[in-house]
Structure 1
Amino acid sequence: MAVSTLKTAVGQFFGLVLGAVAVKLLAVLAGPAGVGLYSILRHLQQMLSSVASIGGQNAVVQGLSSHQGISKRQFFISSFYVFFVASLLLSIGVFIFADFIAAWIFEGEHTSAIRWLIIPIVLGALLFFFRGVLTAEMEFGALSIVTMLTGLGAALVALPVGLAYARGNSNVMVLLLAGGPLLGLIAAFFYVRRIGYFKDVKSVSPTGATRAAIVRFLRVALPSLLSLFLTLGSVLIVRSYIVRYYGLEGAGQFDAAWSISAMYLALFLTSLQSYLLPELSKVNDGRDLHFALAKAFHFSLLIALPLIGCLVVMKPLIVSILFSREFLPSLDVLRWVLVGDFVRVLGWVISTALVARADMRGFAMAEALWSLIFMSVSLFLLPYGLEWVGFAYFVSYVFYLVFLASRLRLHHGLVLKKRKLLYWLAGFLIASLIAWLCWDDRELYSWHFILILPALVFSFLIMGADERIFAQHLMNRLRLRLSGLSGRR
């Protein structure tokens, strides 16, 4: 699990660094208002790409991982054509209803940008599909390269986009959204073809699709689509209300906090899920499932607490580096979001287990609960300040975790050991204490780094003896590689 997660995380890391470079250039050239416009267009593109892909890549991963031979090929072809048809229909819909979307989100402005958004929507949907295939085949090295190229594509177009926006061309923001997926999509296609798919025209003929395979795909995909639509839709509604109350500048401040959370969680949780979802999908025995889930929970806790502790302490510096000092007001939102992320980590592990067991009803109900609570609390408290959106994020993930744990126990008979739960509770208290001690700080002070020590000590203490040996082995390998590189220089 550690090795597979690390392989994917390397690509996620470099992809995020390149993506952060793109956002940094945009923040400097376009300011909070430009970042606000970009964030809403990006969120709209992500939501519609998820709709075009019928819920993202999870259904592809689950389906390909749980089938073999001819049925696997049929599932691949069937799901590909579902993606293709859905993308075509959605593109027509966006073109027709662009005026309505612009009136709802931007009060009638940026209609042409929404029409141009069709291009990154289709590119994003196809990228979801190919990433799903590579994840199911456990091609983690290929996934890393695809992720890096996606970040590189965004970084290459960020400078001209920022300069063009500064001169009054707002439609050019769509180019930034299309530049990222394009390079990643090209690379993903070649990797998928190399492992045996898309060898020739005959291998992807529509005659290879079957009704049974389409039904199997939709059985997992439609609940995922519903949950994604509710989740992304609720956040989009909150973003639109932020624009009404605080303008595009307020939307930019919110996006800074939201993006920092999304960046490091993508680095960690997405990498973990790339291993966990296909692995859990292959497990049939309840004892093996319990063991795999406990292992994933333990591993996520080991990494999450020091990671979140570092981010809590260094959040003023991180905001200044990734964006600019103009975005420091986003810390009011971020301080709540980071505490909520610790709760989210355990929920993510449980929700992945539900998807792997094809319990899409439970998964969709959990996502719907989160969306309802987040949107309701946000809209109720937004008039009192932007920071309360962060509070809504934290509260909604508490309810999300409670529901998922109950679902896992009542419908699957799986309960984490009390010792594991006590570990998590102790970690949550440590993360909350660190956040409280530097709650209102706008600068990074040297004494803050002392606050990270309890998180590191706690993670070390809950390690098993074999895990400590493995961690030491990884550190020694890294040290040897670094010394080898310095020797070559």
Structure 2
Amino acid sequence: MRISPAYLKSGILVSTAGVFGSAFLWLLSFKAMAFWMGPEGVGLFSQLRQMAQAATVGATFGGTNSVVQGLAERKDEATRRQFRATAARLVCLSGFAVVLVIAAAAPLLTQFFLASSAPALVATVRWIALAVLLNVGGTYALAVLNGYRSYPYLALAQIAGPAALVMLLGGAGWWHLPPDPQLLSGAFVLCFGVTCLVGAFGVSRLPKLERALRLGALPKAQSRAFVRFAFSNLVAALSTTVALLLVRSWVIEAKGLAFAGLFDAGWTLTFNYTTLFLTACSAIYLPRLTAAVRPEDRRACMLKTAYLVLGAGILVCHAMVLLKEPLIHLLYSSQFQASGEVLMVLVIAVIFRGVSWVYGTLILATRNSRILVVSDVALNLMLLASTRYALDSFGSLQALSWAFVLPNFLYLVFVVEYACLQNRLMCRRDIWPFLLAGTSPLFYLALSGPQWANSGLVTGLSMVVGLGAAGAALLAYKKVVS
């Protein structure tokens, strides 16, 4: 199936609108939580969401990537239907298995991840099992829509669920309902349920085969290949979500829900929304990189995406540092002022994360299962080690934030070297000078004392340097020959 440039351009705009709309609505949901339940509520909300995400990743073999990659490399509808039959059966079976485990092990999960055995929280975790089941269905539907490049329905499904979530949480805060953990789990059920329904509707509108054709599942050899790749993607993605779950559980156990809520506010404004943005980019980038066969085509695809992500990331991160106090007050409340310490440091890790995602997607596109597993597991083991050290030795928000910077920098070094090794046309000088120029002012502000970090002159100069680095990256984007 050939995609016209005009359709692809409009698809990029629609997909971007969908993911930014979804990100904005999730941001509003955190604002509603901050207004309704304060830092403790935000901490609980974030941990429940991470638990649901981890379970969904496990049930869908790593999220959407396996299905998107499998559909993108198949050109005719007949083989796509065979692939979908196999993938749907596996996802359905694993989804029900994960949900049963959550329901049965709810007391243990509550004690481990929420450092509590309160009956209300145990019941909340059991309700999260239903939210996970709906999220599994929604995730699979989004993956199919992405693989078919059905961007309007993809964007609609991405927005619909968070919109319902915001309305429910906003209503709870407006009517001053008593804080109730089970209402939070009900909010997730509503959110993921709406996404699942809209996604299923979009899938039903995809092209259909002739009725006379009856297709079964994939041949055994192809099924085994899919399962191997999906399992590798599962281990890689699950290592990330489980690592974040463990980090949050350690923070809650050591410092309480309020401290976790303050950290989550800074983490959400940086890492969480960066991940959502990169997920949106993946809807365009992963299929295109998978389809690019010639080394020069892959180089052009990677560099154009890297420069675009880096340029946008530098602009946004410098602006967030410049406006951190009014931003936190606007999106959360004055109770979250300490989250500025988290934001100041995590913006550096976010820039590293964005570029490493661009280069690391090459591992997915080439289905290098061994490297995918080893690199992601190593990254998350380093993250766990650094955060455990930061909590035990310092116990401050800023130290915990720096624990995210080092692993992401080391992973960036690895994926850049991997890309250069796989494609001799890729060069280190294509990206490192831009990264150095874009992050140096942020390092200076984060490592300086408060008197310098809050100085208008210093932050102004930082913004000027950031604008220059972002402009240089975007200019390099224009110069890449497709």
TM-score normalised to structure 1 length:
0.87
Kept after mapping to 2: 8 A contact 1:53/1:86: yes
Give 1:114-153 correspondences, 5 Å limit: 114-153=125-164
* Superposed displacement of residue 437, structure 1: 6.7
SS of structure 1 residue aligned to 2:427:
coil
* Superposed displacement of residue 389, structure 1: 1.7
Kept after mapping to 1: 8 A contact 2:247/2:384: yes
Kept after mapping to 1: 8 A contact 2:445/2:452: no
Kept after mapping to 2: 8 A contact 1:312/1:435: no
**Deviation readout 1:254-280 (Å, 9 max, x if unpaired):** 211111113431453222221110001
Which residue in the other structure is 1:236 paired with?
245
Structure 1 residues 125 and 443: alpha-carbon distance in aligned structure 2, compared to 1, 3 A threshold:
farther
Give 1:166-185 correspondences, 5 Å limit: 167-185=178-196
Give 1:377-388 correspondences, 5 Å limit: 377-383=386-392, 384-387=394-397, 388=399
SS of structure 2 residue aligned to 1:458:
helix
Kept after mapping to 2: 8 A contact 1:269/1:345: yes
Structure 1 residues 31 and 354: alpha-carbon distance in aligned structure 2, compared to 1, 3 A threshold:
same
Match among 50, 56, 78 for residue 43 of structure 1:
50
Give 1:257-268 correspondences, 5 Å limit: 257-266=266-275, 268=277
Kept after mapping to 1: 8 A contact 2:82/2:218: yes
Structure 1 residues 113 and 276: alpha-carbon distance in aligned structure 2, compared to 1, 3 A threshold:
same
Match among 187, 193, 198 for residue 204 of structure 2:
193
Tell me if 1:220 matches 2:233: no
Give 1:339-350 correspondences, 5 Å limit: 339-350=348-359
Q: Which runs of 5 or more structure 1 residues have no equivalent in the other structure?
A: 469-489
Amino-acid identity (%): 21
Tell me if 1:157 matches 2:168: yes
State the alpha-carbon separation in 2 of the partners of residues 147 and 441 from structure 1: 41
SS of structure 2 residue aligned to 1:117:
helix
Give 1:88-487 correspondences, 5 Å limit: 88-105=96-113, 106-109=115-118, 110-162=121-173, 167-196=178-207, 207-208=216-217, 210-266=219-275, 268-383=277-392, 384-387=394-397, 388-411=399-422, 413=424, 415-416=426-427, 418-433=429-444, 435=446, 448=459, 451-464=462-475, 467=478
* Superposed displacement of residue 427, structure 1: 2.1
State the alpha-carbon separation in 1 of the partners of residues 208 and 36 from structure 2: 43
Tell me if 1:26 matches 2:33: yes
Q: Which runs of 5 or more structure 2 residues have no equivalent in the other structure?
A: 1-7
SS of structure 1 residue aligned to 2:256:
helix
SS of structure 2 residue aligned to 1:83:
helix
State the alpha-carbon separation in 2 of the partners of residues 403 and 350 from structure 1: 9
* Superposed displacement of residue 64, structure 1: 0.3
Task: Kindly tell me the number of residue pairs found equivalent between the two proteins.
Answer: 466
Structure 1 residues 85 and 267: alpha-carbon distance in aligned structure 2, compared to 1, 3 A threshold:
closer
State the alpha-carbon separation in 1 of the partners of residues 388 and 412 from structure 2: 22
Structure 1 residues 237 and 466: alpha-carbon distance in aligned structure 2, compared to 1, 3 A threshold:
closer
The letter for the 1-side match of 2:467 is L
The letter for the 2-side match of 1:43 is Q
State the alpha-carbon separation in 2 of the partners of residues 98 and 216 from structure 1: 34
SS of structure 1 residue aligned to 2:61:
coil
Which residue in the other structure is 2:4 paired with?
none
* Superposed displacement of residue 412, structure 1: 5.0
* Superposed displacement of residue 415, structure 1: 2.9
Structure 1 residues 187 and 168: alpha-carbon distance in aligned structure 2, compared to 1, 3 A threshold:
closer
Tell me if 1:74 matches 2:85: no
Structure 1 residues 199 and 446: alpha-carbon distance in aligned structure 2, compared to 1, 3 A threshold:
farther
When the two chains are superposed, the root-mean-square deviation of aligned CA atoms in Å is 2.8
SS of structure 1 residue aligned to 2:337:
helix
State the alpha-carbon separation in 1 of the partners of residues 148 and 452 from structure 2: 46
Tell me if 1:13 matches 2:36: no
Kept after mapping to 2: 8 A contact 1:18/1:151: yes
State the alpha-carbon separation in 1 of the partners of residues 208 and 433 from structure 2: 46
The letter for the 2-side match of 1:234 is A
* Superposed displacement of residue 413, structure 1: 4.4
TM-score normalised to structure 2 length:
0.88
Kept after mapping to 2: 8 A contact 1:165/1:172: no
* Superposed displacement of residue 360, structure 1: 2.5
* Superposed displacement of residue 462, structure 1: 4.6
* Superposed displacement of residue 160, structure 1: 4.6
Kept after mapping to 2: 8 A contact 1:59/1:220: yes
The letter for the 2-side match of 1:386 is S
SS of structure 2 residue aligned to 1:167:
coil
The letter for the 1-side match of 2:246 is I
State the alpha-carbon separation in 2 of the partners of residues 215 and 431 from structure 1: 46
Kept after mapping to 2: 8 A contact 1:63/1:216: no
State the alpha-carbon separation in 2 of the partners of residues 363 and 301 from structure 1: 23
Query: More displaced, 444-453 or 253-262?
Result: 444-453
The letter for the 2-side match of 1:328 is Q
The letter for the 1-side match of 2:224 is V
Query: More displaced, 291-300 or 49-58?
Result: 291-300
**Deviation readout 1:448-484 (Å, 9 max, x if unpaired):** 456423322333345449949xxxxxxxxxxxxxxxx
* Superposed displacement of residue 224, structure 1: 1.4
Structure 1 residues 462 and 265: alpha-carbon distance in aligned structure 2, compared to 1, 3 A threshold:
closer
Query: More displaced, 251-260 or 437-446?
Result: 437-446
The letter for the 2-side match of 1:363 is L
State the alpha-carbon separation in 1 of the partners of residues 214 and 271 from structure 2: 35
* Superposed displacement of residue 432, structure 1: 3.0
Kept after mapping to 2: 8 A contact 1:197/1:203: no
* Superposed displacement of residue 121, structure 1: 0.5
* Superposed displacement of residue 441, structure 1: 8.3
Which residue in the other structure is 2:59 paired with?
52
**Deviation readout 1:177-206 (Å, 9 max, x if unpaired):** 122222222221122211226999x9998x
